[in-house]
Amino acid sequence: MPIKPVTFKTKLLLITILPLIAVSALIGSATYFQARHLIEAETIAVKQRILANKRQEIRHYISLAMTSIERIYDREPGGRDAAQEQVKNILHNMTFGEDGYYFVYQLDGTNIVHPKLGHLVGEKWWDLQDPEGDYVIRNLIKAAKAGGGFHEYVWHKPSSGLVEKKLGYAILLEKWGWMLGTGLYIDDIAKEVNAIRADFAASIRQTVIVIFVITLVAIAVAGSLIAGVRFSEQRFADSKLKELTNRVFEVQEQERKRVSTDLHDGISQLLVSVRYGVEMIHSEASTDRKLQSYATKCLRILDDAIAEVRRISRDLRPSVLDDMGLASALVSLGNEFQTQSGVTVNVSAERAHNRLSDAAKTALYRVVQECLTNVARHSGAREVQITLSVGARTLSLMVEDDGIGLPTPVPSRGGLGFRNMRERVETYGGTVLIAKAPSGGASIRVVMPLEKAKPLQEAA
């Protein structure tokens, strides 16, 4: 039986599809292995960041304990025995969080303070080992003698009744021969790392599925084209790219909002609570100028820390954008930039009410943020004008400065910052124009279409 010759249509189909399948397989494999590598790198970085934060937090708790007992330890009112009993009572009653407490051991391993495990008090635990064989007490005492240090071990967790990983920190009260320590349980780190791994694994699976689906769609398109059906691949790719870009920005804003909320509602509130305690110490130490001076110094440090946390939270996601709208957020942004940089910022902003989506408002806010960042880094400007005007169908945003201006000729696309602006704005049907301002500086103009007014009016 004679072999039928391969038709040109079949050859064209094979030439089109086989490289596509091969490239897709290579991309899928490369994506998978690169993503796995990224998972490992990211989880290690997350673990290191969390451990660093916990180390800093533990140091603060030790500092707080020392501030509470320092006067008694230094002066020993009523004699050493009375002073030691007073310090024991103070440390026994000082707790933080659900599982936070302080413990004290003599240098021979005898426990003298432990508010959670009372049966340890009065007994010698020099040879105590945790389930992993670590000599917990002797290693903590060793770290304390070395000038204070951290030690990781496994210990009973009061809230769960289980043994969990704990990061301890010990210092030496040399005059009394005591080791004072505290610590934080770090089992939550493993949970967070596992959650990140799970999220990344899900993303990898989705990416592989997307690659597979795209491959099938591309094969179908190629077959359709060969059959005579015209299809614009470029338009399809641009559409998908815009959707992906929009999704990236949405996820970025969601994550910024989450981190901002966590900072404001979590760490900031903890710092404020600590500040109340230090204020109480300050007021109670009215007869002790040295202690009052220490308390005043602690208050200044806490105020700086609270202000820094609030600044970071505000930069990540300004609450005024959600609460008061775009116009008020731009005024607030201009005032803050003027305070930080010394550059005069004039803001004239009209309200768009409910004719812009929340995502579009966020995009415009980020555009202004990027413009001000460029002004601070490159322009050398002394004054910036921000104008937000609302027309019948479009909104116009103008940012002008009187700095050194743009290079000649003016770049049509700009750098990475300008590309990010364009991608954000074009997602919502807008355009970005880059030009020289009449003052000689740079001028960035954004024009964005407005939605039809809705019955319920919301401030923009």
Q: Which CATH number goes with the domain that contains 346?
A: 3.30.565.10
Residue 190 is part of which domain span? 1-216
4 and 129 part of one domain: yes
Per-residue model confidence (pLDDT) at position 231: 40
Closest CA to 333 of 429, 399, 251: 399
Per-residue model confidence (pLDDT) at position 244: 62
Choosing from 262, 283, 317, the residue where a domain stops is: 317
Instruction: Look at residue 246 and tell me if it is in a domain.
Output: yes
Q: Is the pLDDT at 93 greater than 90, yes or no?
A: yes
141 and 271 part of one domain: no
Instruction: Look at residue 357 and tell me if it is in a domain.
Output: yes
Three-state SS for 171? strand
Choosing from 216, 246, 270, the residue where a domain stops is: 216
Higher pLDDT pick, 185 / 426? 185
Cα angle 434-437-443, degrees, rounded to a multiple of 5: 35
Per-residue model confidence (pLDDT) at position 365: 85
30 and 164 part of one domain: yes
Q: Is the pLDDT at 57 greater than 70, yes or no?
A: yes
Residue 384 · residue 345 · CB < 8 Å: yes
Q: What are the DSSP calls for 97-147, one per residue?
A: TTTEEEEEEETTSBEEE-SS-GGGBTSB-TT-B-TT--BHHHHHHHHHHTT
Residue 313 · residue 264 · CB < 8 Å: yes
Q: Is the pLDDT at 177 greater than 90, yes or no?
A: yes
Average pLDDT of the chain, as a whole number: 80
Higher pLDDT pick, 292 / 91? 91
Q: Is the pLDDT at 117 greater than 80, yes or no?
A: yes
291 and 313 part of one domain: yes
Q: Is the pLDDT at 184 greater than 60, yes or no?
A: yes
Residue 384 · residue 346 · CB < 8 Å: yes
CATH code of the domain in which 95 resides: 3.30.450.20
Per-residue model confidence (pLDDT) at position 211: 75
Q: What are the DSSP calls for 189-233, one per residue?
A: HHHHHHHHHHHHHHHHHHHHHHHHHHHHHHHHHHHHHHTT----H
Torsions phi, psi for 7 (to 5 deg): -75, 160
Residue 147 · residue 68 · CB < 8 Å: no
15 and 78 part of one domain: yes
Cα(132)–Cα(123) distance, integer angstroms: 22
Residue-level length of the chain? 460
* Per-residue b or e along 319-353, where b marks 16 or more CB atoms closer than 10 Å to that residue's CB: ebbeebbbbbbbbbbbebbbeeeebebebebebbb
Instruction: Look at residue 124 and tell me if it is in a domain.
Output: yes
Residue 179 · residue 125 · CB < 8 Å: no
Per-residue model confidence (pLDDT) at position 260: 56
Residue 452 · residue 394 · CB < 8 Å: no
Per-residue model confidence (pLDDT) at position 172: 95
Instruction: Look at residue 135 and tell me if it is in a domain.
Output: yes
The number of distinct structural domains making up the chain is 3
Per-residue model confidence (pLDDT) at position 413: 52
298 and 204 part of one domain: no
Task: List pLDDT tens digits, range 61-77.
Answer: 999 999 999 999 999 99
Task: List pLDDT tens digits, range 212-242.
Answer: 788 777 777 766 666 664 445 455 555 555 6
Cα(363)–Cα(319) distance, integer angstroms: 15
Task: List pLDDT tens digits, range 397-423.
Answer: 999 998 887 766 555 555 566 777 888
202 and 238 part of one domain: no
291 and 165 part of one domain: no
16: region left, alpha or beta (phi > 0 left; psi from -120 to 50 alpha): alpha
The amino acid sitting at 11 is K
Higher pLDDT pick, 44 / 18? 44
Residue 151 pairs with which residues in a beta bridge? 168
Choosing from 285, 317, 349, the residue where a domain stops is: 317
Q: Is the pLDDT at 441 greater than 50, yes or no?
A: yes
Higher pLDDT pick, 236 / 80? 80
- Confidence tier at 460 by pLDDT (50, 70, 90): very low
Q: Is the pLDDT at 88 greater than 90, yes or no?
A: yes
Per-residue model confidence (pLDDT) at position 35: 73
Cα angle 282-285-286, degrees, rounded to a multiple of 5: 100
- Confidence tier at 153 by pLDDT (50, 70, 90): very high
375 and 269 part of one domain: no
What is the rounded average pLDDT of the residues 194-198? 79
Instruction: Look at residue 176 and tell me if it is in a domain.
Output: yes
Task: List pLDDT tens digits, range 323-375.
Answer: 778 888 888 888 888 888 888 999 998 887 778 888 888 888 888 888 888 88
**Per-range mean pLDDT, top range of 103-107, 354-358, 379-383:** 103-107
288 and 373 part of one domain: no
Task: List pLDDT tens digits, range 226-283.
Answer: 666 444 545 555 555 566 655 665 566 556 566 655 555 566 566 666 766 777 776 7
Structure tokens, 147: 């000038």
331 and 421 part of one domain: yes
Instruction: Look at residue 457 and tell me if it is in a domain.
Output: no
Torsions phi, psi for 453 (to 5 deg): -65, 140
Per-residue model confidence (pLDDT) at position 251: 62
Q: Is the pLDDT at 394 greater than 60, yes or no?
A: yes
Q: Is the pLDDT at 108 greater than 70, yes or no?
A: yes
Per-residue model confidence (pLDDT) at position 14: 65
Cα(317)–Cα(254) distance, integer angstroms: 9
Instruction: Look at residue 348 and tell me if it is in a domain.
Output: yes
Query: pLDDT exceeding 90 applies to what percent of the chain?
Result: 29
Per-residue model confidence (pLDDT) at position 207: 77
**Rounded to the nearest 10 degrees, how much is the dihedral formed by the CA atoms of 91, 97, 99, 102?**
-20
Per-residue model confidence (pLDDT) at position 302: 74
Instruction: Look at residue 198 and tell me if it is in a domain.
Output: yes
110 and 62 part of one domain: yes
pTM beyond 0.75: the answer is: no
- CA distances to 170, 349, 374, 376 from 336, rounded to whole Å, are 42, 16, 15, 13
- Confidence tier at 459 by pLDDT (50, 70, 90): very low
